[in-house]
């Protein structure tokens, strides 16, 4: 009886866990669809009728057309494909899949809304107001998709990558590590000024040697045994800092 009770309890917990995951997934993909719809609606209602240009990959493809023997559409397709591949590499399967779905949904909604809404003239005659409304709604739509680790594709993928890794820079140990590197570079740079007679040269040798030592790379562009004694002392200390950094 006890075994059966425990088994039922485990099954109950597993079922609750699975249900919770399903609810989260439904919420996430519902928000992706909502964000995609808002993004496409704003584009069709305010951006296209006023002949406004969106930035990101669309703008980049128009610029690159002047230098490459391809149409903007072909360039745009290649850029978006490369960014999707980058998403799978940098963001992982889950975030990349959500981004791919967001990109596809946005494209589909644009095609649907273009058939539903047809204007002989811009919906908002004033160009600046149209641009403001379009940008505001697109920003809201992007925010909704970013909230669930998705995007409409294009350069939004880069924003997702930055969002994913931005928390790393809040780590106190990493901040201390960078602070040590910068402080020691400056100290040794000024101590080398009498030797190399140039701030630029002193900075270059100092920065390279410190980064090489603290990362345990071991390369050298100068013989630091001939540097001032104080510089050698600091480099000696950095050997231990680099060795303890893992």
Query: Distance (Å, rounded) from C-alpha 153 to C-alpha 19?
Result: 29
pLDDT digit string, tens, across residues 224-239 = 888 898 888 888 888 8
Categorize the per-residue pLDDT at 28 as very low, low, confident or very high, splitting at 50, 70 and 90.
Answer: very high
Categorize the per-residue pLDDT at 222 as very low, low, confident or very high, splitting at 50, 70 and 90.
Answer: confident
Please give the C-alpha separations between residue 95 and each of 8, 125, 127, in angstroms, as whole numbers: 34, 39, 36
pTM of the model: 0.57
Categorize the per-residue pLDDT at 26 as very low, low, confident or very high, splitting at 50, 70 and 90.
Answer: very high
Find the mean pLDDT for residues 185-213. Answer: 89
- Residue 84: burial class (beta carbons within 10 Å; 0-12, 13-18, 19+): middle
Find the mean pLDDT for residues 187-207. Answer: 90
Find the mean pLDDT for residues 202-227. Answer: 83
């Amino acid at each position: 009886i006890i075994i059966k009770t425990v088994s039922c309890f485990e099954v109950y917990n597993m079922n609750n866990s699975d249900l919770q995951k399903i609810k989260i997934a439904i919420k996430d993909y519902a928000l992706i669809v909502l964000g995609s719809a808002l993004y496409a609606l704003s584009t069709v209602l305010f951006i296209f009728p006023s002949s406004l240009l969106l930035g990101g990959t669309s703008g980049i493809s128009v610029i690159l057309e002047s230098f490459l023997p391809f149409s903007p559409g072909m360039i745009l397709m290649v850029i978006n494909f490369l960014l999707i591949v980058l998403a799978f590499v940098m963001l992982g399967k889950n975030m990349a899949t959500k981004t791919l779905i967001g990109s596809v949904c946005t494209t589909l909604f644009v095609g649907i809304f273009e058939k539903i809404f047809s204007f002989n003239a811009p919906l908002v005659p004033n160009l600046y107001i149209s641009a403001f409304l379009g940008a505001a709604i697109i920003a809201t739509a992007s925010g909704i998709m970013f909230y669930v680790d998705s995007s409409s594709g294009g350069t939004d993928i880069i924003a997702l990558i930055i969002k994913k890794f931005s928390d790393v820079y809040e780590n106190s140990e990493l901040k201390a590590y960078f602070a040590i590197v910068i402080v020691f570079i400056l100290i040794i740079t000024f101590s080398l000024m009498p030797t190399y007679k140039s701030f630029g040269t002193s900075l270059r040798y100092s920065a390279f040697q410190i980064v090489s030592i603290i990362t345990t790379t071991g390369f050298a562009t100068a013989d630091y045994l001939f540097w001032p004694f104080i510089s050698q002392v600091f480099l000696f200390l950095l050997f231990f800092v680099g060795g303890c950094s893992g």
